[in-house]
Amino acid sequence: LESKASLVKVIPKSESPAETIAAYQLLRKWLEDFLGDDWKKHVAVTTEPARGILRPYAQAENLAAFDVPPAVGGRYSVTCPVGTLPLAFAEVDLENLMAGARKANQTAQQPAAGNLPAQTALIQDLLMRKGMNIWVFMPYSTRLRYLPDWFVQLHDESLGKTKDKQGNKVRVGTTAVRAVGTTDQHAQVQLFREGPHDKLLTMIRLEHPDQDLEIPVVKGLESLDYLFGRNFFDLLTAEAKATAHALAKAGQPNYTITLERLDAHNLGWLLQHLMWQTAFLGELWNINAFDQPGVELGKEYTYALMGRKGYEKLAAELKAEGVE
């Protein structure tokens, strides 16, 4: 990395995971070693306006600072500065991204017959009641290969809960699994098709590519001439359709969301659709889809084990339980 051309963006919402702060401390030292006092021009903090753990630090060091709305959890923060600032640096069209998100908002407020996120949430709910508690998210796009990582956090952290909205004990949630086509056709689809029928698969594919290559004619491979002159996108689309139908023939539930193309508008729509879908599932299961109490305890244990002030009692409790 070139320090003069780098910006370090640190995002502790309120209390931050220890690893986030540790990574920031390392990168700040790197910037300071190479840039001296100019390091401050290469750091941006995104945190809550009042409770953010780095808000006083950013003010004291005169760092650029952006707000995370207090009511917005990290996994839902794609369309606030947590997500939009790096997208802006990547030259993504933010106006079109937000227009796509607003379109998803409009759909989510329609009656059920025209409300796609409510429908996909209901599919998951009905299948869960039949014992299908795994949700595989599988885009057929290299450019979307990291989207399942976010979806896994969005789904699992929002919906795995031990208390309902009234405080009653429950044990609810389904497990999201990451997959990418076509890679996972050769890694996981064997299990999906012939293993336990405990899964719902959601596939994402495109109607039109943003770029494509023609498969050339190669002398000596005439037995494979069905590929000659076709495009790679044709092959990718055929494999997505074939996999979906093969799974259906085996009795494995799946559905496909088709985007016209992968651009800022459609990406904004897809992200917002998935967040609405998660919120609807929270309502169907009568749980709070916007907190993560199970994560917070692990953070506190980490603070205690690392010797953070104020966690001495918890450290002693852990030691008594054989954890030190």
Q: Is 41 exposed, middle or buried (0-12, 13-18, 19+ CB in 10 A)?
A: middle
> What are the backbone angles phi and psi of residue 231, rounded to the nearest 5°?
-100, 155
Is residue 210 left, alpha or beta, with left meaning phi > 0 and alpha meaning psi from -120 to 50? alpha
Judged by phi (left if over 0) then psi (alpha if -120 to 50, else beta), residue 286 lies in left
Q: Are 107 and 277 in contact (CB under 8 A)?
A: no
Residues marked as catalytic: 157, 186, 299
